């Protein structure tokens, strides 16, 4: 059959049109691969002007170990009863190289946001003459403090002073220029007054930790609690008459309303903690070090021990972790408070601390 000129022309045009349409389809299929996905082209949240580099909720005590979505289940922090409940069975130990990230724009850890803050506390936490230096914390047991109320981290040491371990801890703190808070047991302070003087002379803050670490003290009458705290303060003042004792920590974290109320009568803030190293169980230096590296965040109050037993693990862990903590955070002693001016402002400067 002969093909006419018209038919041949139509066939050629059809082939050309089909080729053009085919090329267009190929180009259309490849277009999505050449474009950035929407998430890439959108502006980063942490690049916005005024975006913060820390989580203010962590400072207020709402989140101490980062976002709930990216951290392992935290160890239980005792709000009453004996301190130091162990991790749940099967819960993995925290790893130093998997520190939780705070829930902040862009996931920037707070310790990486800008240069370290000065190692002194915001004076706004001092609430006035003759009053405890820290306001009650509504999230703490019976209003005891879970956090510092500032961006600084407070290292605290319990059960001392001890003739072997307290000097070692003081030496390490001196080496890095770090001030801390020491919660003293009255009978130990009476036995080692020179160590009490050394603690004060080096600029550390003092805390009353009862006469003989009576975990059940808070369940007793207010008169008994009052006598115990007064006896402990007297032992500290026998070593350093003008020492400011602005904090009280109940043994074992076994807080009661009565204990908190009596401490307030003495002008002392009740001091709980954010990070429990559980070093009193002697888990080993590496475990203590990992807990410090993983759990410490802005505003943390860190619980350790410089006495009450063998504390080689604590000293070894502190020696290893202090350089890292000092780089990540501003470490400072808790503020000792403000004295009332004797001559209505003429006797200046004001002396910080409780009378």
Query: Does 282 score more than 70 pLDDT?
Result: yes
In a domain, 113, yes or no: no
| Whether 305 is catalytic | yes
Is 245 within 8 Å of 205 (Cβ atoms)? Answer: no
- What is the average pLDDT across 308-317? 97
Q: What CATH code is carried by the domain that includes residue 166? A: 3.20.20.370
Q: How many CB atoms within 10 Å of residue 29? A: 9
Report how far residue 208's alpha carbon sits from residue 251's, in angstroms, rounded to the nearest whole number.
Answer: 10
Q: Determine whether 8 is exposed, middle or buried from the number of CB atoms within 10 Å of its CB (0-12, 13-18, 19+).
A: exposed
Q: How many structural domains comprise the chain? A: 1
Taking residues 254-273, what's their average pLDDT? 96
| Better pLDDT: 148 or 36 | 148
- The active-site residue out of 55, 137, 158, 295 is 158
Q: What is the pLDDT of residue 26?
A: 36
CB atoms < 10 A from the CB of 16, how many? 10
The whole-angstrom separation of Cα 309 and Cα 249 is 18
Q: Residue 64: inside a domain, yes or no? A: no
Residue 102 inside a domain? The answer is no
Q: Residue 25 domain-assigned?
A: no
* Domain hosting residue 171, numbered range: 141-342
Indicate the DSSP class of residue 20: H
φ, ψ of residue 134 in degrees (nearest 5): -125, 135
User: What percentage of the chain carries pLDDT values higher than 90?
Assistant: 54
When pLDDT is cut at 50, 70 and 90, the band that residue 43 belongs to is: very low
Confidence of residue 117 (pLDDT cuts 50, 70, 90): low
142 and 98 in contact (C-beta within 8 Å)?
Answer: no
Give domain status of residue 275, yes or no. yes
**How far is the C-alpha of 112 from the C-alpha of 101, rounded, in Å?**
11
Residue 189 lies in a domain: yes
State the pLDDT at residue 131.
73
Catalytically annotated residue among 209, 213, 250, 305: 305
> φ, ψ for residue 99 (rounded to 5)?
-60, 140
- Domain contains 24: no
| pLDDT value for 8 | 55
Q: Which residue has the higher pLDDT, 107 or 302?
A: 302
Out of 112-121, 260-269, 311-320, 324-333, which region has the weakest mean confidence (pLDDT)? 112-121
Are 322 and 231 a contacting pair, CB within 8 Å? no
Residue-level pLDDT at 251? 97
Spatial distance between the Cα atoms of 76 and 98, rounded to a whole number of angstroms: 19
Contact assessment for residue 109 and residue 294, using Cβ atoms and an 8 Å cutoff: no
- What tokens appear for 224 in the block? 């008994």
Q: Which helix (H) or strand (E) holds 172?
A: helix 165-175
Q: What per-residue confidence (pLDDT) applies to 133? A: 85
34: which residues sit within 8 A by CB, 6+ positions away?
Answer: none
d(CA 64, CA 45): 22
Q: What is the pLDDT of residue 5?
A: 57
Q: Is residue 69 pLDDT above 90, yes or no?
A: no
Give the pLDDT mean for 177-186: 97
| More confident site: 220 or 346 | 220
What does the DSSP assignment read for 36-99? Answer: PPHHHHSPPGGGSTT--SS-HHHHHTS-SSS-TTSSPPPPPPPSSSSS-PPPPTTPPPP-GGGP
CA-nearest of 321, 333, 298 to 112 is 298
Question: Is residue 42 in a domain?
Answer: no
Q: What is the mean pLDDT of residues 134-139?
A: 90
């Amino acid at each position: 059959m002969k093909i006419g000129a018209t038919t041949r022309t139509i066939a050629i045009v059809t082939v050309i049109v089909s080729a053009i349409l085919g090329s267009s389809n190929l180009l259309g299929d490849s277009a999505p691969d050449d474009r950035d996905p929407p998430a890439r082209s959108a502006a980063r949240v942490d690049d916005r002007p005024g975006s913060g580099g820390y989580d203010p909720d962590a400072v207020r005590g709402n989140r101490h170990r980062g976002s709930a979505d990216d951290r392992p289940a935290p160890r239980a922090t005792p709000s009453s009863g004996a301190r130091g409940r162990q991790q749940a069975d099967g819960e993995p130990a925290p790893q130093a190289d998997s520190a939780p990230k705070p829930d902040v724009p862009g996931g920037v850890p707070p310790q990486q946001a800008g240069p370290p803050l000065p190692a002194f506390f915001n004076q706004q936490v001092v609430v006035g003459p003759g009053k405890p230096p820290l306001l009650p914390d509504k999230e703490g047991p019976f209003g005891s403090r879970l956090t510092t109320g500032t961006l600084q981290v407070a290292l605290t040491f319990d059960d001392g002073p001890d003739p072997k371990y307290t000097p070692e801890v003081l030496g390490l703190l001196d080496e890095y220029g770090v001030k801390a808070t020491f919660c003293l047991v009255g009978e130990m302070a009476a036995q080692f007054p020179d160590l009490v003087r050394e603690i004060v002379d080096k600029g550390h803050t003092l805390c009353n930790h009862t006469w003989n670490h009576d975990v059940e003290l808070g369940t007793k009458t207010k008169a008994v609690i009052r006598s115990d705290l007064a006896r402990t303060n007297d032992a500290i003042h026998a070593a350093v008459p003008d020492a400011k004792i602005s904090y009280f920590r109940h043994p074992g974290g076994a807080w009661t309303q009565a204990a908190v109320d009596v401490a307030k009568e003495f002008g002392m803030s009740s001091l709980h903690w954010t990070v429990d190293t559980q070093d009193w169980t002697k888990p080993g230096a590496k475990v203590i070090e990992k807990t410090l590296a993983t759990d410490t965040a802005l505003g943390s109050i860190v619980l350790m021990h410089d006495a009450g037993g063998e504390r080689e693990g604590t000293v070894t862990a502190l020696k290893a972790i202090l350089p890292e903590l000092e780089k990540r955070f501003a470490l400072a002693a808790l503020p000792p408070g403000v004295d009332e001016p004797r001559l209505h402002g003429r006797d200046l400067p004001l002396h910080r601390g409780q009378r």
